[in-house]
Structure 1
Amino acid sequence: MDDNTRCPTSRITRQFFEEVEIRVMDWPALSPDMNTIEHLWDELNRRVWARNPVPSSVEELKTALLEEWHGIPQETVKKLIRSMKIRLQAAIRARGGNTDID
């Protein structure tokens, strides 16, 4: 599943998915993003770039990503899961359009 942004729909990405036989779901353009993992990716991104010093090589980045991923509190994950009811209600109110839910 992807959100139709450039990265997952680029030609090179589509070719890679075909080569490794990853099936991608069709997803409507401009649909609301209800996937809570996006919020975890954002948390991970902030944690990695807040490091001092920031990673300056691929190996440092891999290490930082793993360390920070394991450092995200389970309460953060649980909070995102618990937020789904509110997110779905907001999407219904917005008739599938944008919501103000973070």
Structure 2
Amino acid sequence: LSTFLLSGSLTAIRYRDEILRPLVRPYAGAVGPGFLLMQDNARPHVAGVCQQYLQDEGIEAMDWPARSPDLNPIEHIWDIMSRSINQHHVAPQTVQELVDALVQVWEEIPQKTIRHLIRSMPRCCKEVMQVRGGHTQY
């Protein structure tokens, strides 16, 4: 995590080389047929170089409506982490302090919370489909 945070903004090339190639591709292979990548419309995700890589590797990505609520459980985890860090009396002053705080908060998140978020996804997706990508409680 600290190496990733210290190396700057996430570009399409970095996303392909540091996330898709070493993490997503092997995971997709382990899951096998039926693997569907969920990612939002962040610029690195939709960049041509990344879309081409996914196509070349035969990795299918979920179509993501432009204005839909974020359905990725990790976004809820980021929110939990952000709120936890903001509750500390002294905000991190350096990148390294932020990295240390993020790692500490990440390790403190109960596995039960993560399981709950993952298990809520079918319900969330169903609700978003019912409102055709519009606003939901999520």
The alignment's TM-score, normalised by the length of structure 2, stands at 0.55
> Aligned in 2, Cα 1:99/1:21: closer, same or farther, shift over 3 Å?
closer
Q: Tell me the equivalent position of 1:48.
A: 85
Extract unaligned runs of 5+ from structure 1: 1-12
Note if contact 2:65-2:133 (Cα within 8 Å) is conserved in structure 1: no
The ranges of structure 1 where at least 4 consecutive aligned residues each deviate by more than 3 angstroms after the TM superposition are 25-28
- The residue number in structure 2 matching 1:39 is 76
Matched residue type, 2:134: G
1:64-97 CA-to-partner distances (Å, cap 9, x unmatched) read 0110111111111011011112101211210121
Q: Which residue number corresponds to residue 17 of structure 1? A: 12
Q: CA deviation at 1:21?
A: 6.5
Shift in alpha-carbon separation, 1:36–1:21, aligned structure 2, 3 A: closer
SS of residue paired to 1:30: coil
Unaligned runs of 5+ in 2: 1-8, 21-44, 52-63
Count of aligned residue pairs for this structure pair: 87
- Quick one: percent identity of the two aligned structures? 38
**2:103 aligned residue (57, 61, 66):** 66
* 1:60, distance to aligned residue in structure 2 (A): 1.0
- Partner-residue secondary structure (3-state), 1:43: helix
Structure-2 separation of matches of 1:33 and 1:95? 14
